[in-house]
Amino acid sequence: MTTVVKSRGTVTIDVESCKGCELCIPACPPAVLTMSGPVNKRGYHYPELHPGCTGCAACLMVCPDYCFEVFRFQTPVEHEVPS
């Protein structure tokens, strides 16, 4: 079974600047950010984005390392994900 998840927005993440504080994870209203398994050059886990972003910019506003830039799509992008 698959479900269609719409992304109204997306983000870019400056992975190498991240210090792994995890403040963005609970800040994300649709909860589509998770921490990575691998680590960056400085040894920190970093956030990864899954389908379902709304482009609300909550992650950007709580990130102390200014890692995020937020974008909104003119037409939402659809992803098929296993449910």
5/26 Cα distance (integer angstroms): 20
Under rule CB under 8 A, residue 41 binds another protein: no
Q: Is 60 left (phi over 0), alpha (psi -120 to 50) or beta?
A: alpha
Distance from C-alpha of 22 to C-alpha of 52, rounded to nearest angstrom: 19
Asked if 8 touches another protein (CB under 8 A), the answer is: yes
Does residue 45 touch another protein according to CB under 8 A?
no
Residues that bind another protein (CB under 8 A): 3, 5, 7-15, 17, 19-23, 25-27, 29-32, 34, 44, 48-52, 54-58, 60-62, 64-67, 69-75, 79-83
